[in-house]
């Protein structure tokens, strides 16, 4: 069975500082990996996804993530955080079946201080 | 992209009652899903809503507790039956256009349910 671990429940960074959110997955084959962001009162928005190819994936809002098979990781990064980035971030893994069900991590809440 | 609306956005219900949540999409979609997000926890897939047939439930979820309807390609409902405080969660509708796993999966704003 697939699973996702986000070890950091809550992270606080200063505006302008760099950010890295950790994600580790467990899956028997090549995973399909996603990062979603959930702002208060909003639905989840897809930041980026990895299916194959280049292991460094660029997303929206200046985010990027790197797939490292050897470490079973898919960490999310941003070089300079903005106050509007404060939100809940979810890493997810999709299976390779037709339905491609998503399994989510427990999320990391990002707080940005000014 | 797909724009998803859910009704109600939030509700407070009494133990033992039932609540039906509606999900409306602005375009026809192939796949519709219902998720639950319990307080402080991750999203858990409840079921896949199938048009014209019974929903496909995940382990731990049953039709008697979470009946689902999907009469067409743009609308679905989830009912939370005989509610208890443990059902207090955010319930999210999600859609994907086409069956391909490469298609983006969109999420609605959620319905925040509190059961007293």
pLDDT tens for each residue of A54-101: 899 999 999 999 999 999 999 999 999 999 999 999 999 987 665 568
- Please say whether the dihedral angle defined by the alpha carbons of residues B89, B4, B33 and A35, taken in this order, is positive or negative: negative
Q: How long is chain B?
A: 116
Q: Is B87 helix (H, G, I), strand (E, B) or coil?
A: helix
Residues 6+ apart with CB under 8 A from B38: B44, B88, B89
Q: How long is chain A?
A: 114
- Which residue from A32, A43, A44 is facing B101, i.e. has the nearest CB? A32
Residue A109 has phi, psi (to 5 degrees) of: -90, 125
Residues of chain A contacting residue B99, judged by C-beta atoms under 8 Å apart? 98-99
Q: Residue B79: is its pLDDT beyond 60?
A: yes
Q: How far apart are CA B38 and CA B89, in angstroms?
A: 4
Q: Residue B19: is its pLDDT beyond 70?
A: yes
Residues of chain A contacting residue B7, judged by C-beta atoms under 8 Å apart? none
Q: Is A104 close to B43, i.e. CB distance below 8 A?
A: yes
Q: For residue B21, what are its two tokens?
A: 């949540």
Maximum CA pair distance of chain A? Answer: 45
Q: Is A96 close to B42, i.e. CB distance below 8 A?
A: no
pLDDT mean across residues, chain B = 92
Which spans in chain A are helix H? Answer: none
Average pLDDT, stretch B81-103?
A: 88
- Which residue from A51, A98, A105 is facing B42, i.e. has the nearest CB? A105
Query: Which residues are bridge partners to B35 per DSSP?
Result: B45, B92
Instruction: Tell me how far apart the terminal alpha carbons of chain A are, to the nearest angstrom.
Output: 41
Q: Residue B56: is its pLDDT beyond 80?
A: yes
Q: What is the pLDDT of residue A97?
A: 63
Q: How far apart are CA B81 and CA B93, in angstroms?
A: 17
Q: Residue A106: is its pLDDT beyond 70?
A: yes
A96 touching chain B per CB within 8 A = yes
* Residue B39: closest C-alpha in chain A: A106
Residues of chain B contacting residue A107, judged by C-beta atoms under 8 Å apart? 42
């Amino acid at each position: 069975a697939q699973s996702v671990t986000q070890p950091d429940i809550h992270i606080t960074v200063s505006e302008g500082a760099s950010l890295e959110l950790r994600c580790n997955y467990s899956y028997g084959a090549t995973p399909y990996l996603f990062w979603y962001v959930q702002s208060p009162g909003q639905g989840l928005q897809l930041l980026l996804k990895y299916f194959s190819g280049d292991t460094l994936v660029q997303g929206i809002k200046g985010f990027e993530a790197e797939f490292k098979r050897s470490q079973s990781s898919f960490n999310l990064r941003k070089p300079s955080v903005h106050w509007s980035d404060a939100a809940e971030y979810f890493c997810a893994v999709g299976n390779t079946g037709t339905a491609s069900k998503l399994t989510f991590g427990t999320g990391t809440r990002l707080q940005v201080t000014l | 992209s797909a724009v998803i609306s859910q009704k109600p956005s939030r509700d407070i219900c009494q133990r033992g009652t039932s609540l039906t949540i509606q999900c409306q999409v602005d375009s026809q979609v192939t796949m519709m899903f219902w998720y639950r997000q319990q307080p402080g926890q991750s999203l858990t897939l409840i079921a896949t809503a199938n048009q014209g047939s019974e929903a496909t439930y995940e382990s731990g979820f049953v039709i008697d507790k979470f009946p689902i309807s999907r009469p067409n390609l743009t609308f679905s409902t989830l009912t939370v039956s005989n509610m208890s405080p443990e059902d207090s969660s955010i319930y999210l509708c999600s859609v994907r256009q086409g069956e391909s796993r490469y298609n983006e999966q969109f999420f609605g704003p959620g319905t925040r349910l509190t059961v007293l």
